[in-house]
Structure 1
């Protein structure tokens, strides 16, 4: 893919829309286009989508639709997909935002990984957020029966609980608890008819270090051990140690000790490599010795980055807070391995 057209410009923001069959993805797409008339969109979707994008919305010069005829976006990342990206790059001066609508029966991991791990594409595009549409009336049964739906939740930055008018408040509370157990970092928005309800979906910048830092600090729904609770004095977390309903869930850790940067880097690289099929996202704030700023860490599949965050305050107790989202995470093994990465500890044998 040629880089010349966008080399001197900002990267094009990408919003990925996922959700199981019938959840309202294309309705959301139509709503986003309708509510942002001055934004010039490029849209990549499968030709065999559940319903079409409103023709009146794409009849002007502000929106271009690229339909993929050869298979699911998430499953194959076909030649059509790369050709669509190339066409978008070539006319980048006329495009403000790329929307990618995935099919309902697949997870978006491969699409996310493409925009993060492919060096050429990563220089041209940046992920704004992953949005999951969830049908409130059927979500509980879908999560129990369809592994792909659980992964869609796990990889999302925003979960729109659509068709909320069809269920009562108790059911809404139960659904939110299920979502939080899978992904405590996601923002949950109640809605009907896939309305955005004032949520700035196109300005999330969920993969920026600022957003990772803010959501990590504010997240208080982590599944932590009693030892973590005691060390945090109860100030940062929910006091419940949860039992998980599904195979995909989140595990969070808080440590007062400093991590050894070299040890952490070596171990994390290995851990991500050997757990690519079961570990979906890692986010956190890390404390390294002799660093005056928080280190913001995030990983998707085998790709990860460190970035500098805000300054540690002089009167602040430093800590590390890190969240792993994946399938069949062994909390005890993971915690023991992380503890071996503390500064000034002799490195022991660490399992990947």
Structure 2
């Protein structure tokens, strides 16, 4: 039985892993790729691309298979490899607050798994704008993710000037000297550079002591107060069906404390009633991106907050969120505001399409350079 290559995708919160996965799952690359994600909800898949859903598995029109990890990762991998639509390559999305060495050890310790798959490489996505701003144990985790990688995708380089890019490259080389750095914008990179890495560092990663990282819902905090973990994170999810005022919500998100590392999800805006909007907060950056029309789907809001343990106050957060809800009555001022907001969301969408076009051109050049280098 031919083994299936596996790539582990890591990177700290907000680095751009999901953006890369969205690109991968939408691209016309001619490969049947199986992608294991932490949650379907984190991946933006247009309904028109989905050909079939069976349990926790989603088959896409370009041949890719997207599977949500539930429980045992080894069991999920085996079921995908043994399925009717055996993938050409498997990619595992590691949580932004996880040590990829723990995933690697799953391969190292399982004889049955190694008979079916082999570890082709560990790819770390780096937030080029904010990785050096991480402090304390968060910085330790990010450096670990970098240290065990076979390839670094240095994302968001469009937000840096030439001097900042050179400084970042020097800093990354100080962390790890024997790994290729590939600069990316919005996670676009030729797949030829991501696959076929040869898995040079997985044995080194498997031998490392894994970092003691623990993540739990804020409501479980009391149950874990007695435990002593190296790194602890809390999550809290806000859900609602009432629309938000864009300006108030953006102001609130911009004012979140530094202990809230990440906010991500879907939001319903009164100012854009027909369109589903993706809200993302990563460090200092807040962005809204028009995603798709609601169509027959009932509009809703679902946002996940990730913070340092003990730093989330769900009652206070819920109250602050509720203060951003739009008034039921629309005024003329709100109509004018909707025009301005629509322009901002449209600009974000235009920027995304611009970068997609630019990235495709960059990919073609990089692929040509890569091909010429092999000749």
Give the TM-score, by structure 1 length: 0.51
Contact 1:13-1:96 within 8 A present in 2 as well: yes
Superposed CA offset, 1:193-242 (max 9, x none):
11105752122223399xx9xxxxxxxxxxxxxxxxxxxxxxxxxxxxxx
User: Which residue is 1:276 aligned to?
Assistant: 209
Distance 1:98 1:276, change over 3 A: same
User: Which residue is 2:118 aligned to?
Assistant: 126
Distance 1:176 1:55, change over 3 A: farther
Distance 1:171 1:179, change over 3 A: same
Partner-residue secondary structure (3-state), 1:200: helix
Cα separation, 2, equivalents of 1:86 and 1:199 = 25
**Aligned Cα root-mean-square deviation (Å):** 3.0
Q: Given the alignment of the two structures, is residue 97 of structure 1 paired with residue 97 of structure 2, yes or no?
A: no
Q: 2:29 aligns with which of 30, 37, 40?
A: 37
Partner-residue secondary structure (3-state), 1:205: coil
Cα separation, 2, equivalents of 1:156 and 1:17 = 9
User: Which residue is 2:168 aligned to?
Assistant: 175
Contact 1:26-1:53 within 8 A present in 2 as well: no
Distance 1:33 1:150, change over 3 A: same
Superposed CA offset, 1:140-168 (max 9, x none):
11266512111110111111111101112
Shift of 1:46: 0.7
Cα separation, 1, equivalents of 2:27 and 2:89 = 14
User: Which residue is 2:185 aligned to?
Assistant: 192
User: Which residue is 1:154 aligned to?
Assistant: 147
Partner-residue secondary structure (3-state), 1:276: coil
Partner-residue secondary structure (3-state), 2:168: helix
Cα separation, 2, equivalents of 1:276 and 1:175 = 27
Superposed counterparts of 1:320-339, under 5 Å? none
Distance 1:38 1:31, change over 3 A: same
Contact 2:121-2:201 within 8 A present in 1 as well: no
- Shifted more, 122-131 versus 51-60: the winner is 51-60
Gaps of 5+ in 1: 1-8, 70-77, 213-267, 279-352
Q: How many residues align?
A: 200
Contact 1:49-1:103 within 8 A present in 2 as well: no
Q: Given the alignment of the two structures, is residue 115 of structure 1 paired with residue 107 of structure 2, yes or no?
A: yes
Contact 1:30-1:54 within 8 A present in 2 as well: no
Runs of 4+ in structure 1 off by over 6 angstroms are none
Cα separation, 1, equivalents of 2:201 and 2:2 = 14
User: Which residue is 1:202 aligned to?
Assistant: 195
Cα separation, 2, equivalents of 1:128 and 1:46 = 20
Partner-residue secondary structure (3-state), 1:43: strand
Q: Given the alignment of the two structures, is residue 141 of structure 1 paired with residue 110 of structure 2, yes or no?
A: no
Distance 1:93 1:111, change over 3 A: same
Partner-residue secondary structure (3-state), 2:115: helix
Partner-residue secondary structure (3-state), 2:134: helix
Gaps of 5+ in 2: 52-59, 212-375
Distance 1:111 1:145, change over 3 A: closer
Shift of 1:277: 5.0
User: Which residue is 1:19 aligned to?
Assistant: 11
Partner-residue secondary structure (3-state), 1:128: strand
Partner-residue secondary structure (3-state), 2:67: strand
User: Which residue is 1:68 aligned to?
Assistant: 69
Shift of 1:117: 3.1
Cα separation, 1, equivalents of 2:151 and 2:95 = 17
Give the TM-score, by structure 2 length: 0.48
Superposed CA offset, 1:224-263 (max 9, x none):
xxxxxxxxxxxxxxxxxxxxxxxxxxxxxxxxxxxxxxxx
